[in-house]
Amino acid sequence: MNRADVSVHRFTLIRHAQAACNVLAPDSPWTPALDDCALTPLGQQQANSLAAHWPTELYAPKLYVSPMRRARETAAPLARQGGMPLVLDERLAEVTLQGDVTRPLWQHDWDDILEQRIRQPDESPLSGVESLRAQFLRAQGFLKERLAAGSGHHMIVSHAQTLELLILSLLGLALEDLQRFRFRLSNTGVHMIECQTDGSAPRLMLVNSLAHLNRLV
C-alpha cells in the first residue's frame, strides 16, 4: 500500500462523569427514567476538572457525544474550553430499556441484565433491551464512518458499555472476548488508541487516565 493512501487515526474515548444512576444502592428501585439521569454534584466537578486540565494540543475538530444527558453534561465544559462543536450521535448511547416495565426492577436486577448480555451476546435478556451484538454493530458503524473520513483525531464522550465495545473493535478483538476479560472505565476516565488503515497493529496509548481529577476521586 502506498503510504500516501494510509490514514492515521487517534481515538480519544472519555466516559461520562459520575451520574445519579452510578451511585444507586443494589436494592434501589430501577426505572427507565434513570436511563437519562443527570450528573451528581461530584460529577459536575469531574466534568469541569476534565475541561480545565485538558491539554491544548489534544483538542479535536469535533466532539462526538452520546445524546444521553449525563454524556452531554460531561462534554459541555470540555467543548466550551476547546471551542469544539458537539456532534450528538445515537450510536454512542448506552443500552436502555425501551417500552413499559412489566415487573418491578431493582438496581441489582439491571446489573444482572447487563451481565447476562455479555454471557449471551446474541440474545435480549429482557423485552425492550437490545442484545450486546446489536449494540456492538452500532458502535462499529460509528467507527467505520470515522475511519472512512480520512486521517484525524476523534474525541468521544460516551458510556462504559459503549466505550468498551468501541475499544474492543478498535483493538481488533471479538465480542466474545468480554467473557474472558473486561476494561476498567472510570467516570471521566480517558482511553486513547491510535490506528492506521494499512492493517498495522493498533496502539493503546492511554488507559483509563484520571490525572485531571487531582483530589476529586
Active site residues: 16, 159
Residue of 52, 145, 36, 46 lying closest to 93 (CA atoms): 36
C-alpha to C-alpha distance for 165 and 132, rounded to whole angstroms: 9
Question: Letter for the amino acid at 132?
Answer: L
C-alpha to C-alpha distance for 70 and 19, rounded to whole angstroms: 6
